[in-house]
Amino acid sequence: MQGPHPTSLILTPQQRRRRSVYFNVASPALADHPRNSTTVVTAHEIESWVTRELQAVTLEEDVKLICQVVLATISTLAATLCDTGTR
């Protein structure tokens, strides 16, 4: 599934699957290790996940700038939810 811009990025099988989900070729798969609602996720795990997802969608290896914007948005949203007591 290659877009109009060829790339040298080699996607992992997981990234290829995510890309096919984003472009409606496949259904989302159940998580290998489902998390319950009380599981704490580290900032590093979130950054790794966002990076993999962005690489799968954009077919670009260097997604640092976009990743920073997404992480800042997530951080702002989390702070807002904590300030309002919303969960």
Query: Would you tell me the crossing angle of helices 43-58 and 13-22 to the nearest 10 degrees?
Result: 70
CA count, 13 A, side-chain hemisphere, 59 = 12
Question: For the segment 10-56, what is each residue's pLDDT rounded down to a tens digit?
Answer: 888 888 888 888 787 656 566 656 666 667 788 899 999 999 999 98
Question: For the segment 61-72, what is each residue's pLDDT rounded down to a tens digit?
Answer: 999 999 999 999
Residue spans of the domains in the chain: they are 13-25+41-84
Q: pTM for the complete prediction?
A: 0.65
C-alpha 23/C-alpha 27 separation (Å) is 10
